[in-house]
Amino acid sequence: MTRIVIVEDEIDIASVVQDYLRHSGYETAHFSDGQSALDSIVASPPDLTLLDIMLPRLDGIEVLRRAREHTAHPIIMLTARIEEVDRLLGLELGADDYVCKPFSPRELVARVRAVLRRTAPGSAPGQAPQGGAPGLVLDDVHWRASLEGTPLNLTRREFGLLQVLSRHPGRIFSRARLLELAYDDTVDVTERAIDSHVKNLRRKLGAVSPLHDWIRSVYGVGFAWEAPPQA
Ligand code: CA
């Protein structure tokens, strides 16, 4: 059975989440402070952890940081504010996803499923042929990309975005982070420009492969590469 650890000091939230997960067939364990959660996670890593940030004894960021020294199992952060996500992304602590409060339990369960699917053995990002997309080929030297043998005709900016996003399937990048990673000169690039580059990139990917939405918009945060389900 898939075991999920919930670390949340607000008992009402924790018990609703626990109910939903159990009804969805998961085994759950609940901790209401950071230190006991960390002890348990390190002693016996679960299949997934839902980790609140504001916690007594040890906050969620510290739990994440220390847990990552011992285990690579998927961790979804529960954050009270969207601004926290930006801070977390900047810290690059290796969370697998972020869910902002208030969330619907149904949405949370869907995210749990998606993260478990993505991180299941055999679908690890590093094992995907190229960038978490079968059929996607990037030529870093000439800034050329093709999907399923069809050239994508990307601009240099679009290529840069594709490179960063597709090499980290599922990871959410803020616009500020994309600006830093995907653009070698940022003189004239605004965060709004990124949106239009992403839009063009989506259109070009969609022209070749219309059944899959490759780039997920994360409201108020940024974008993530969405690897297609494994055949
Ligand atoms: Ca809390």
Point out which residues pair with 106 in neighbouring strands: none
Same domain flag for 187 and 96: no
Same domain flag for 97 and 17: yes
- Written as six digits, the tokens of 218 are 């994360």
Question: What's the CA-to-centroid distance between 100 and ligand 1, angstroms?
Answer: 12
* C-alpha 141, offset from chain centre: 28
Q: Taking the CB of residue 101, how many other CB atoms lie within 10 A of it?
A: 16
Same domain flag for 42 and 104: yes
pLDDT of residue 132: 60
Q: Is residue 78 assigned to a domain? A: yes
Same domain flag for 13 and 85: yes
Same domain flag for 99 and 152: no
Same domain flag for 43 and 99: yes
In whole angstroms, give the CA distance from residue 68 to residue 167.
Answer: 21
Same domain flag for 30 and 112: yes
CATH of the domain at 196: 1.10.10.10
Question: What's the CA-to-centroid distance between 52 and ligand 1, angstroms?
Answer: 6
pLDDT of residue 180: 77
Residue 90, domain extent: 3-119
Question: What's the CA-to-centroid distance between 1 and ligand 1, angstroms?
Answer: 27
Give the count of domains, the chain: 2
- State pLDDT tens for residues 172-199: 888 888 887 777 665 667 778 889 999 9
Q: Do residues 36 and 66 make contact, with C-beta atoms less than 8 angstroms apart?
A: no
**Domain boundary pick from 93, 119, 145:** 119
pLDDT of residue 130: 46
Question: What's the CA-to-centroid distance between 34 and ligand 1, angstroms?
Answer: 10
Same domain flag for 113 and 136: no
Question: What's the CA-to-centroid distance between 14 and ligand 1, angstroms?
Answer: 10
In whole angstroms, give the CA distance from residue 95 to residue 169.
Answer: 13
Question: What's the CA-to-centroid distance between 225 and ligand 1, angstroms?
Answer: 29
**Domain boundary pick from 86, 103, 119:** 119
Residues in the chain, pLDDT under 50: 123-131, 231
pLDDT of residue 127: 35
pTM for the complete prediction?
0.58
**Domain boundary pick from 89, 119, 149:** 119
Same domain flag for 175 and 104: no
Q: Is residue 166 assigned to a domain? A: yes
Question: What's the CA-to-centroid distance between 96 and ligand 1, angstroms?
Answer: 19
Question: What's the CA-to-centroid distance between 42 and ligand 1, angstroms?
Answer: 21
Question: What's the CA-to-centroid distance between 97 and ligand 1, angstroms?
Answer: 17
Same domain flag for 91 and 191: no
